């Protein structure tokens, strides 16, 4: 994460110098220059520099049309806040109805504390959104492997597209076992937000333990490593669905998602990026959702540029918020 902060900062400065949003800076690069930013060490048994170059060159003729399309229509988003654990039935209903009015067609709910409560919550969500909308579930690393399989088999009637983080994020073989058991039931495994590096993604993808690639803009080693991950996901035909929700992540990830579509995958099938509607007030250029889709960022740089007053208040440990806290030793 420390290297990511530095590397992402360099890309942000580069994009600002070019007066382009990051996704556009990447899309305007030649395939040769893009490939030169990637470290293929430890990856060449899965994807080589030559293969990556071929993919990027193959997509060059279609970039302009894809850019025009995604700017006009936006990039698919899903809401992650309709069905948190602990929400009352009325809150879940209200959240679903509001999201539908906002144009969302993709929804995610939390699961994992009590299977009967999960059934009740998912049934309630399905009663509001119907079965023509996508529904995903997230266990936040709650279960052991066999527990995850048994639990999810009891939720199949609600047609979840994926189970996210069913077990330890480091257990690649465990995820593969879960996927092998659940894929025939129409349930994919989504993971990646806690992966440390491109090598873990290589193993998840190679083993079949990942059907939805949830890379993180700040947890891997910055833009360069995420480009490598997107290229590997494309080779395994696994859709990239970036993780978001934390401070600034919703401002980061549209750049990666748009670049993946425009320059690598050329497909929006099962592609979507997470959106959580909080903390955007701290950014000069906050993420914007229209009709359930991310508006493609047009401001120069990467991320949404945190406001100086927010940084002054919350920078640890000398920000005014922390200084005012009586429960933190000075």
What positions carry a catalytic annotation? 110, 243
CA distance 21 to 102: 26
Return the SS3 of 294.
strand
Torsion (CA) 46, 49, 53, 56 in degrees, nearest 10? 50
289-290 and 293-294 strand pairing? antiparallel
In contact, 260 and 240? CB cutoff 8 Å: yes
DSSP letter, residue 157: G
**Which burial class, exposed, middle or buried, applies to 140 when counting CB atoms under 10 A from its CB (0-12, 13-18, 19+)?**
middle
Q: From the centroid of its chain, how far is CA 312? A: 28
**Which burial class, exposed, middle or buried, applies to 29 when counting CB atoms under 10 A from its CB (0-12, 13-18, 19+)?**
middle
Task: Tell me the two tokens of residue 236.
Answer: 């395994």
Task: Tell me the two tokens of residue 288.
Answer: 């914007």
Q: Which residues contact 319 (CB under 8 A, 6 or more apart)?
A: 311, 312, 313
Torsion (CA) 238, 243, 248, 253 in degrees, nearest 10? 10
**228-to-170, 221, 264 alpha-carbon distances in Å:** 20, 10, 11
DSSP letter, residue 326: S
Residue keyed to tokens 């690393």: 141
φ, ψ at 310 (rounded to 5°) = -70, -40
Task: Tell me the two tokens of residue 9.
Answer: 């900062």
CA distance 321 to 224: 34
């Amino acid at each position: 994460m420390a290297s990511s902060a530095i590397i992402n900062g360099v890309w942000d400065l580069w994009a600002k110098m070019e007066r382009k949003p990051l996704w556009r800076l990447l899309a305007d690069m030649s395939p040769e220059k893009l490939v030169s930013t990637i470290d293929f060490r430890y990856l060449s048994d899965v994807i080589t520099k030559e293969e990556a170059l071929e993919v990027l060159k193959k997509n060059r003729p279609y970039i302009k049309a894809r850019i025009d399309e995604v700017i006009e229509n936006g990039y698919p988003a899903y809401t992650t806040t309709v069905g948190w654990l602990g929400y009352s039935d009325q809150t879940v209903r209200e959240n679903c109805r509001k999201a539908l009015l906002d144009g969302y067609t993709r929804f995610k709910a939390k699961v994992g504390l009590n299977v009967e409560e999960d059934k009740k919550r998912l049934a309630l969500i399905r009663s509001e959104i119907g079965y023509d909308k996508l529904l995903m579930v997230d266990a936040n690393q709650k279960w052991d492997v066999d527990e995850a399989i048994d639990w999810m088999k009891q939720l199949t009637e609600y047609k979840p597209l994926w189970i996210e983080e069913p077990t330890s994020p480091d257990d690649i073989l465990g995820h593969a076992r879960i996927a092998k058991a659940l894929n025939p039931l129409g349930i994919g495994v989504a993971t990646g937000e806690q992966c440390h590096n491109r090598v873990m993604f290589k193993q998840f993808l190679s083993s079949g333990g990942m059907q939805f690639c949830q890379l993180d803009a700040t947890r891997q080693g910055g833009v360069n490593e995420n480009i490598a991950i997107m290229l590997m996901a494309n080779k395994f035909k696994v859709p990239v669905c970036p993780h978001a929700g934390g401070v600034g992540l919703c401002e980061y990830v549209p750049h990666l998602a748009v670049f993946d579509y425009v320059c690598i995958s050329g497909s929006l099938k099962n592609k979507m990026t997470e959106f959580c509607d909080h903390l955007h007030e701290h950014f000069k250029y906050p993420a914007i959702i229209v009709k359930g889709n991310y508006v493609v960022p047009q401001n120069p740089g990467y991320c949404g540029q945190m406001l100086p007053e927010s940084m002054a208040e919350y920078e640890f440990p000398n920000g005014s918020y922390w200084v005012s806290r009586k429960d933190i030793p000075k």
